[in-house]
Amino acid sequence: MDERRLEGGFDGGATVVDGTVRRVAGPWAPSVRKVLAHLLDRGFDGAPRPLGADELGRDVVSYLPGETVGSCRPWPAWTHSDKALAQVAGWLRRFHEAVLDFDPGIEAVWREGGIWRPGLVIGHNDAAPYNAVWDDDGLVGFVDWDMCGPLARESDLAWVAFSWVPLHARDVVEAEGFIHFSDRRRRLELFLREYGSNRTADGLLEVLRRRLRENIDAMRVTARSGDVTYQRMLEHGVDRRLVLALEGLDEV
């Protein structure tokens, strides 16, 4: 059996085995499989296909062919292009349209997000460049769906913009290769147009402020509950950098 470890992540990452991707399944795995199965049923091809579990109990999904950021810094120039930004906005719009009629039920278990109710959508919750797969034509889709869960559509829109405009703390995005800070307002407006949102840039920034506060609090609470992945995030200062990002939004 051909098996190799994939780079990245705070939870030990994933393994490629004979053309499939496998990772340790958490309590949320059945809910994630239902999301991926629904996307497959709707003909959405920007996500892996669910393939059940293997003999070790690991979750198994199809492998999205293409390139990823991996551990390289700075990130490839493609990730900061207008083309990528527009493609991600289009991907997000199609994804939201595909899950609008998805009802996971209140009994579904999620790693992130609250209890599903009508009016919410399922968000990927980590559709950032490090989880993107691309080829010569651009964006293929996103991997690593463990964090997906129910939330307001505008919250998901703001969170994806945070990663791709990008709107993170200055030192974070500089290390990733983005330096055109005066261009962020234009890029945010481009993202909103390509998605088809009628929200203004200022309106989405306010949504993002709320989302950042929620994420910071949830990350710290989850880490205190004993979640090793979130404890590693805090050890790496992820929460502190989100605080800096929140403070920096007034400059956009």
pLDDT of residue 56: 86
Q: What is the mean pLDDT of residues 178-183?
A: 96
Question: In this structure, are residues 182 and 201 in contact, taking their beta carbons and an 8 Å threshold?
Answer: no
Q: Which residue is listed with tokens 């399922």?
A: 122
Helix (H) or strand (E) holding 170: helix 170-175
pLDDT of residue 204: 98
Task: Please write the tens of the pLDDT for every residue from 59-99.
Answer: 999 999 999 987 788 999 899 999 999 999 999 999 999 99
Q: What is the mean pLDDT of residues 155-167?
A: 97
Distances in whole angstroms, Cα of residue 94 to Cα of each of 36, 43, 146, 175, 196: 14, 10, 20, 30, 11
Is the pLDDT at 230 greater than 90, yes or no? no
Is the pLDDT at 222 greater than 60, yes or no? yes
Q: What span, in angstroms and rounded, lies between the C-alpha atoms of 6 and 130?
A: 12
Distances in whole angstroms, Cα of residue 58 to Cα of each of 20, 53, 90, 111, 230: 11, 5, 31, 17, 20
Is the pLDDT at 184 greater than 70, yes or no? yes
Q: Tell me which residue of 127, 130, 138, 142 sits closest to 75, measured CA to CA.
A: 130
- DSSP-assigned letters across all residues of 186-235: HHHHHHHHHHT----HHHHHHHHHHHHHHHHHHHHHHHHTT-HHHHHHHH
Is the pLDDT at 9 greater than 60, yes or no? no
Strand, helix or coil at 4?
strand
Is the pLDDT at 112 greater than 80, yes or no? no
pLDDT of residue 10: 46
Is the pLDDT at 113 greater than 80, yes or no? no
Compute the mean pLDDT over every residue in the chain, rounded to the nearest whole number. 91
Helix, strand, coil percentages (3-state) for the chain, rounded to 5, are 45, 15, 40
Q: How far apart are the first and last CA of the chain?
A: 50
- Please give the share of the chain, as a percent, with pLDDT higher than 90: 75
Q: What is the mean pLDDT of residues 2-9?
A: 59
Is the pLDDT at 38 greater than 50, yes or no? yes
Task: Please write the tens of the pLDDT for every residue from 46-61.
Answer: 999 999 988 888 899 9
pLDDT of residue 235: 94
Rg, Å, the chain Cα set: 17
| CA 189 to the chain's CA centroid | 20
Distances in whole angstroms, Cα of residue 122 to Cα of each of 47, 114, 125, 140: 13, 10, 9, 20
Is the pLDDT at 12 greater than 80, yes or no? no
